[in-house]
Amino acid sequence: METFWFVVLVVMLATYIVLDGYDFGAGIVHLFVAKNDEERKAVTNAIGPFWDANEVWLIASGGVLFFAFPTLYASSFSGFYLPLMLVLWLLIFRAVGLELRGQLHNRLWERVWDTAFGMASLLLALFFGAALGNVVRGVNLGMVENGVSQQEAPYFFLPLWNPTFDPLAAHQGIIDWFTIVLGVVSVLSLSIHGANWIILKTNSTINARLRPLIFKLNVILLLLVIASALLWHYVRPVAISNFKQYYWLWIFPVIAVIGLLGQFRIRAFKKDYSGFICSSLFIVGSFGSTAASMFPNLLPSTNSINPSLTVHNASANAYGLSAGLSWFIVAAILVIVYFIIQFRVFKGKLDDVGYGEH
C-alpha cells in the first residue's frame, strides 16, 4: 500500500504542476510579454475560469501527504517552514492580483495588481523548482553536528540560504546554486507551458510573438536541462538502479525528451493544442523521471547518522492506508467529473470571457 500511495501522490503532484503550472507561466507572460491592456486581458481570460480549481490539486496533494506519509509531512512542514510561508503569501498575492485588478478602473491601481500577479507567478515557479532541488539534494535530518543529532531523527530546519550558497555545505540553506539552477529550469518550463496555454485558449495578437519566443526559451531550457542533470550527479550521484531493474521506467525520460524536442517545432504546428501537449509531456516526463530515480526515498538524508525518509519508514500504518482507499476513490471520481464538466463548459477560445471585469 505504501507504494500505491506514493504513486498517487506523484500523479497528483504532476497533475498540479501541469494544471497550475500553466497559470504560473501565464502570469510570467502577463508580466514580461503582454504589451497592452488588450493582451493582458487575453492572458487573464485564458486562465480565469481555471486557476482557482487548479490550486485544489495542491491542497489535495497536501492532504494525501498528511494522511499517507505523516512523518514526511511533519518533517517537511517544520523544516521548510520559511519557504512554505513565502509560498503561501505568494499564492495570496497572486489570487488578490487577479481578483482586485478590475475592481477599480485606475491606471495606478491596475499596474500595482498586474505587477503583484506577475511577480507572484514568477517567484512561485522559482520556489517550486528550488523546492524540488532541496528534495533531490537532501537535507541534514536530525540536524547532525559533529556526529551527534541535535533533533529527533526525522526533523530538521533550513534557513533561506547559507553564506557560501554551497549545496554540499554542512549547514545547508533552502537557496544555493544548485536549487537556483533547478528554479530557473522551472521558470523556463512553466513560462513555455503558460505561453502554449495562451495560444491554445486565445486568438490574441500576443500569440504571434509567443511562438518564436517559445522556440528561443526552449533552446535555453535544453541547455539548462543538460547542465542540471550533470550538476545533480555532482551534488548527489543519480541513482539509476531503479531504471536498470525496471526497464519500463525509461518511459518517463523518453516522454520528457519527446516533449522537449517537440517544442522546437512550435512554429510549424498547425493545431494550437500541439505545443501544450509537448510542454505537458516534458513536465510529466521530467517529474516522473525524478520520482522514479528517487524511489523509495521521499526525502534523502545528507548524513550517515539518520536514515532517509522513505515510503516505508514515513508512511501511516497499513490499516489506515487501506481504509483511506475507499474515500480516495469517491473523491477521485468527484474531482474527475468536476474537471470534465469545467473543461466542457469552457472549451474553445476564451477571448470573450471578460474575466475580472467590473
Let me know if residue 304 belongs to a domain. yes
Domains contained in the chain, number? 1
Gap between the Cα atoms of 128 and 63, Å rounded: 18
Per-residue pLDDT, 326: 86
Per-residue pLDDT, 195: 97
pLDDT above 80 (res 39)? yes
Let me know if residue 358 belongs to a domain. no
Who contacts 12 (Cβ-Cβ below 8 Å, separation ≥6)?
A: 57, 60, 61, 64
Instruction: Select from 207, 276, 193, 180 the least CA-distant residue to 27.
Output: 193
pLDDT above 80 (res 355)? no
Q: How confident is the model at residue 25 (pLDDT cuts 50, 70, 90)?
A: very high
Let me know if residue 286 belongs to a domain. yes
Q: What is the pLDDT of residues 148-169, one digit of tens each?
A: 888 888 899 999 888 889 998 8
Per-residue pLDDT, 356: 67
Instruction: Choose from 158-172, 228-242, 243-257 the range with maximum mean pLDDT.
Output: 243-257
Q: What is the pLDDT of residues 181-226, one digit of tens each?
A: 999 999 999 999 999 999 999 999 999 999 999 999 999 999 999 9
Mean pLDDT across 333-349: 90
Let me know if residue 351 belongs to a domain. no
Task: Return the amino acid letter for 255.
Answer: I
Expressed as residue numbers, the domain containing 20 is 2-345
Query: Which ranges of the chain does DSSP label H, i.e. alpha helix?
Result: 2-32, 37-47, 51-54, 56-68, 70-79, 81-100, 107-137, 177-201, 207-235, 241-245, 251-262, 273-294, 318-345
pLDDT above 60 (res 358)? no
Q: What is the pLDDT of residues 95-150, one digit of tens each?
A: 998 888 878 888 898 899 999 999 999 999 999 999 999 999 999 999 998 888 88
Per-residue pLDDT, 357: 65
Per-residue pLDDT, 311: 95
Gap between the Cα atoms of 14 and 298, Å rounded: 15
Let me know if residue 355 belongs to a domain. no
Who contacts 56 (Cβ-Cβ below 8 Å, separation ≥6)?
A: 335
Let me know if residue 159 belongs to a domain. yes
Per-residue pLDDT, 237: 81
Gap between the Cα atoms of 98 and 112, Å rounded: 11
Let me know if residue 14 belongs to a domain. yes
Let me know if residue 129 belongs to a domain. yes
pLDDT above 80 (res 19)? yes
Mean pLDDT across 87-92: 93
Mean pLDDT across 283-300: 94
Q: Can you give the pTM of this predicted structure? A: 0.95
Per-residue pLDDT, 220: 97
pLDDT above 90 (res 239)? no
Who contacts 91 (Cβ-Cβ below 8 Å, separation ≥6)?
A: 55, 120, 124
Gap between the Cα atoms of 223 and 120, Å rounded: 26
